[in-house]
Amino acid sequence: MPKATNKKTTKKPSAAQLEKRVAELEKELAVAESTSTKKNVSEKPLNWRTPVVALMVVLFCLLLPLAATAFAVNRTITNTDTYMRSVGPIIKQPAVQAAIVKESQTAIEQQVDVQKVVGDALPPKAQFLAGPIASQVNGAIKNFLQKVVASSQFYNVWLTVNRNTQQATITLIKNNNGNASISVNQLYQYMSQEFQGTPLAALGNKTIPPKVGSITIIKSKWLPTAHRALAALTWLQYIALLAAVLCAGIALYLSRKAKKTGVILALGTAFVLALMLVSTKNSAPIVFHSIHDQTYQAAAVAIWNTVLTPFVSYLTVLITLCLLAAIVTWAGTDARAATWLRKQLHAGFGWLHQVIFRKYAKNEFFSVANRYQSYAYWLIIAVSVALFLFVFRPLTVSIVLTTTLVALILSAVVAVVATPSAANRK
C-alpha cells in the first residue's frame, strides 16, 4: 500500500503585497545608489577638466562682449549711416542747444559791448537808459539764437557738416600709408569719389602732374596713429570673436555636461553685458564731474547719452539673445522642470498633429519631416542670425523680439508637422 506524500502548499502573494515589496526594494536601491554616489564623489580627486572648462567659460564671457564692443565701435566710426544715427540727434537735445546759445552769446558780447554802443548813441541825459536797453538787446539776441539753433535749417546744416566731415576723415585715415601728411593727390582722389553721380563728375579721375600731386597741404601727426588704431580695432573684433568661439568649443568638448555648460556660457555672457550696460548708462556724471558750469555739464551729459544710445540698444539686444539662448539650452537638459516641459510640448504637438492631419498621419511626408526636423530648426536659426547681422539696421530690441517670436512660431509649426501623436506612432 503506497504511503501518502504530504505536499506543502505555498500561498501565492497578492498583487498588493507584490507592489508593496517592489516599492520597498526600489526605496532600498535608491538609498544604496545615493550612498554609493556620495562616497564616490567624496573620494574622487579633482579632474583636470574642471578648471580648464571653468577658465574657458570665463574667457568666453569676457571675449565675446569685447568682440561685440569692438564691432559696435568700429561700425560707428567707419560706417556713415551708423555714425549719423549716433551724432545726428545731438543737436536736438535742449541742453546742447542751451550750451550753443550761451557760447554764441558770450562770443558776441566779447566782440561787441552792447551797453557801450547804446550809451554812445544816447544823449547825456538819457544815459540811464543804456543798461535797460542793452539788457533788452541781449535778450533779443538770445531769443534769436534760440530760434536759429532750434530751426530745421540749422539741423540740416548740422547733418551735412557731420556727414561730410566723417566721410572725409575716415577716407583720409584709411588711405594714409603711415605718413603724417596729406598731399594734393590724396585730396583730389577723395574729391573724385565725392564727385561721382554729380554734374562735377567730369572734373574727377584726371591725372595730376607728380610735382603738383606730391605737394603737402596738410601735415598732422595724428594721422598715422589714427590709421594704426583703426586697423587694430578692425583686427580686434575678428580675433576676439574667433578666440571666444574657440574657448566655447573647448569648454563644451571637455565638459561632461555640455548643455549645462552652454547655459552657464549664455548666462555668464549676459551678466557681463549687463554690467557693461549699467556702467555705460551711469558713467556720464563721473566722466564730466570736472565741468563746473551747469549748462556745459548738462550739454556734455546729453551728448554722452545721445551718442551711446545706439550702443545701449545694441547691448540690450545682445543680453536678450543670450537669455533666449540660455532658456532654449536649458530646455534640452535633464533637469526635472525641463523634462516636464519637453513632455508637455511633445504631447501638445502630437495632439495638434492628430487633429490637423488625422487622415494623413501615416503619410510618407510626415516621416520625412520627422527625420529632418532638426535641420529645419537650424535653418530657422541661421536665417534669424543672418537677418540680425546683415539686414536689420538699426537692430532694436523690438526687432529682435519680433523676429524671435516669428522664429518660435515657425519652429512650433515644424514640430506640429513632424511630431505624430502616440496613437499614430503605433
* 378-412 confidence digits (pLDDT tens): 888 888 888 877 777 666 666 777 787 788 778 87
197 φψ region: left (φ > 0), alpha (ψ -120 to 50), beta (else): left
Q: Is the peptide bond before 45 cis (omega within 30 degrees of 0)?
A: no
Of the two residues 167 and 186, the one the predictor is more confident about is 167
pLDDT value, residue 30? 75
**Lowest mean pLDDT segment, chosen from 2-6, 335-339, 388-392:** 2-6
User: Mean pLDDT score of the chain, rounded to an integer?
Assistant: 76
- 268 pLDDT higher than 90: yes
Residue 212 pLDDT grade (very low, low, confident, very high; cuts 50, 70, 90): very low
pLDDT value, residue 78? 84
Of 45-59, 366-380, 387-401, 407-421, the range with the highest mean pLDDT is 45-59
Can you give the pTM of this predicted structure?
A: 0.67
Of the two residues 350 and 232, the one the predictor is more confident about is 232
pLDDT value, residue 32? 74
- Mean pLDDT in residue range 52-80: 90
Of the two residues 62 and 174, the one the predictor is more confident about is 62
- 57 pLDDT higher than 90: yes
Residue 267 pLDDT grade (very low, low, confident, very high; cuts 50, 70, 90): very high
* 351-363 confidence digits (pLDDT tens): 777 777 766 655 5
How many other CB atoms are there within 10 angstroms of residue 348's CB atom? 14
CA dist 98 and 104 (Å) reads 10
* 127-176 confidence digits (pLDDT tens): 666 677 777 777 787 888 888 888 888 888 888 888 888 887 777 777 66
Q: Which residue has the cell 549645462?
A: 260
CA dist 215 and 182 (Å) reads 8
Q: What are phi and psi of 61, to 5 degrees?
A: -65, -20
pLDDT value, residue 362? 54
pLDDT value, residue 390? 75
Name 82's Cβ contacts closer than 8 Å, sequence gap at least 6. Answer: 75, 76, 310, 393, 394
- Mean pLDDT in residue range 40-56: 72
Look up residue 368 and give its three cell numbers: 520625412
- Mean pLDDT in residue range 273-298: 87
Long-range contacts of 92-98 (CB under 8 A, 24+ apart): 92/155, 93/299, 93/302, 93/303, 93/306, 94/302, 95/295, 95/298, 95/299, 95/301, 95/302, 96/299, 96/302, 96/303, 97/146, 97/149, 97/150, 98/295, 98/298, 98/299
- Mean pLDDT in residue range 21-46: 65
Of the two residues 186 and 323, the one the predictor is more confident about is 323
pLDDT value, residue 343? 80
Q: What are phi and psi of 182, to 5 degrees?
A: -120, 125
pLDDT value, residue 66? 92
Residue 271 pLDDT grade (very low, low, confident, very high; cuts 50, 70, 90): very high
Of the two residues 308 and 47, the one the predictor is more confident about is 308
Name 366's Cβ contacts closer than 8 Å, sequence gap at least 6. Answer: 353, 357, 360, 417, 418, 420
**Measured between alpha carbons, how far is residue 146 from residues 150, 223, 276 in Å?**
6, 37, 36
Q: Where are the domains of the chain?
A: 52-180+220-257, 334-425
